[in-house]
Amino acid sequence: MIYLAIPAVSIAVLLALAGKYWLMGRRAEALHYFDRCATVLIMLGVVWGLAWIGGVITSYIYGRGVDIFNIAYVTNILSEAEEKFEEMWKTSVDWIMRIAQIRATTALFPLTHPISEVLGSALLWQNWAFSIATTSLLVMVILSRILAWIANWLLCIGVTLTATDTLRRLGAGLLAFYIATSIGVPVIANEAYRMYSGIPPPSIAGEGSSISSSTVGDWRLNITSPDTITIEITSHNYTTVEVLGTVDKVNLRVDPSEINGVLLDIYPSEGNPPFNATLTVTAIYRAYPGEYNATIIAEGYGIRLEKTITITVRAPGGGSEGGGINLNLNIADIAAEVAWKLMNVVLVISLGMALISAITVGLTIILGGIGAISIRPYL
């Protein structure tokens, strides 16, 4: 409650000065200080009223009330918003990188080079959409992180300056910005994440890429993933690794991360169970046909699990060549679906931030106007 300390001291000083001048018979000066004291009390009441209204609104929209005077709670929900924006941002970046990988691998051979040109044309607007989404989501990640850092200062300085005579308009602006963002940004993140849910990973995995799946571990920590993955040279495979258990946090990795031209990666590589990670297997043009073993390792608070998977790399050709072409071209349809959803997310973010700006300006004007109210005519 440190943000109320300075207004409380201000009230005490103003009352003391008003009492002093009243006892000295200088009624005009006393009334002036009584007026200023009443203004501080009115502004504090207005701030508390705004907090109550904000809690009601967020309970209806967000599903839970936001106590803007609880700094720890506001910081937590802003951090949650940052995590949601960051996850969406990473997905957009991942799609850009996967498309670039596919175009690069298909451009390496004379036979498949035309596919790269076709993909470049088919994915033109999708890449444009991914670029816009990546930039917009990165801005929201940075904004959420900064707000989580400075929320306590915005509240303390804003309430202090708003409730006193000096620099009231500046305080009103800071307080209005704090209220609008501490309520609005989590609401925007929640709505955007709801629209983002269900977006498919950047996958063009073909038929028969995953033969079987099994689980290792126990109730404390267990992982489920395919036992065997079949992949052709210059192609990609994306499969799900499911992590369950009761530990607080799990670090996930695959070892080795590269085997004779076969690249392996897991994202996300850490988190609180339950969560699903995407295992990416890429056979670049330098990959050698054959069978390779890799180990998925999960570690969490003294518990360590290992699960071995077999990766079968086969050379392209025969009846699979046409399927490989169709497989590469199919990513244009998948990318279009993802790009459309991400553009809807960007639209929600843009409209939400415009509304936050309007609310900030409106609250600043209202708080500044209330601060000009005088009770001297009624004394």
Return d(Cα 342, Cα 96) in angstroms, integer.
13
Same domain, 109 and 223: no
Same domain, 31 and 93: no
First CA to last CA distance, the chain: 31
Query: Nearest-CA neighbor of 326 among 121, 129, 106?
Result: 106
Range of the domain at 28: 2-53+371-378
Identify whether 206 is part of a domain.
no
Identify whether 58 is part of a domain.
no
Angle between helices 168-196 and 320-370 (to 10 degrees): 160
Provide the residue-wise pLDDT of the chain in tens; the chain has 379 residues.
Answer: 555 565 666 677 777 877 888 888 787 777 777 777 777 777 777 777 777 777 777 676 666 666 777 777 888 888 888 989 998 998 888 888 877 777 776 676 666 667 667 777 777 788 898 999 999 999 999 999 999 888 878 877 777 676 666 677 787 788 888 888 888 898 899 889 888 876 766 654 444 344 467 888 887 888 988 888 888 887 778 788 889 888 888 999 999 988 888 989 898 888 888 888 888 888 887 788 888 999 999 998 788 899 999 998 887 643 333 344 444 456 777 788 888 889 999 999 999 999 999 988 888 887 766 555 544 454 4
Number of domains within the chain:
3
Same domain, 126 and 29: no
CA 172 vs. chain centroid, Å, equals: 28
Identify whether 49 is part of a domain.
yes
Identify whether 208 is part of a domain.
no
pTM of the model: 0.59
Same domain, 43 and 90: no
